[in-house]
Amino acid sequence: MTIKLSGVGLLCVLLLLSCSTETVKQSDVLETPKATETPLKMGNDAYEKGDYGMAAEMYRKAAEQGQAEAQFKLGQMYNKGQGVTQNRQEAVNWFRKAAEQGLTLAQYNLGVMYHQGLGITQDHQQALNWFRKAAEQGFSLAQYNLGVMYEATQNHQEAVKWYRKAAEQGLSLAQKALKKLSAE
């Protein structure tokens, strides 16, 4: 399947790539363990204080123990170059580990990496697969991106389906896309 997106679609696909706190805060989606001195908690504390080197070190310890949240956060640090040298291939590696454990944001970000060819060979089918996994867990940006991808392939029925799911959660991008499709 060949998928070409408009400039607006591409901009929207990248909306969460940096996982900026203005878009979606990690604390809004992910739970932090209540234990006091776990590597994950220490990483979260260091990150909040802006000590990205220490945060990366603590996230790595927790990630190597298989903790999906830490794997995702370490992937984010590699993606942004916070506390570590920016390395998108390493980001993809950590996103994949967390995504395979079912972590929604990791699935979404892995979809973005595949879609844009960041740290991995561009593969729209893999992007679609990872967006679908996140979308099926109710993540509105993934639902919207599926709508964009289906619209680009002229599959308006699937596009409307995914736009509607995202719009029902209040995502204005999806609401606008639905209005545009119904006007055509």
Query: Which residues lie closer than 8 Å to 178 by C-beta, 6 or more apart?
Result: 160, 163, 164, 167
Average pLDDT along the chain: 86
Distance, in Å, from the CA atom of 103 to the CA atom of 98, rounded to the nearest integer, reads 6
Let me know: does 174 contact 181? Beta carbons within 8 Å.
no
Query: pLDDT at position 56, please?
Result: 98
Region 74-80: mean pLDDT is 98
pLDDT at 34: 52
Is a pLDDT exceeding 50 seen at residue 152? yes
| Rounded-to-integer distance, Cα 76 and Cα 108, Å | 12
Higher pLDDT, 145 or 20: 145
CB contact set of 128 (below 8 Å; sequence gap of 6+): 1, 3, 111, 146, 149
pLDDT tens per residue, range 87-101: 999 999 999 999 999
- Among 18-22, 43-47, 122-126, which stretch is predicted with the lowest mean pLDDT? 18-22
Cα 113 from Cα 131, distance rounded (Å)? 11
Average pLDDT of the residues in 1-27: 39
pLDDT at 13 over 90: no
In this model, does residue 184 exceed pLDDT 80? no
- The dihedral through the CA atoms of 138, 19, 157, 3 has a sign that is negative
| pLDDT tens string 32-64 | 545 468 999 999 999 999 999 999 999 999 999
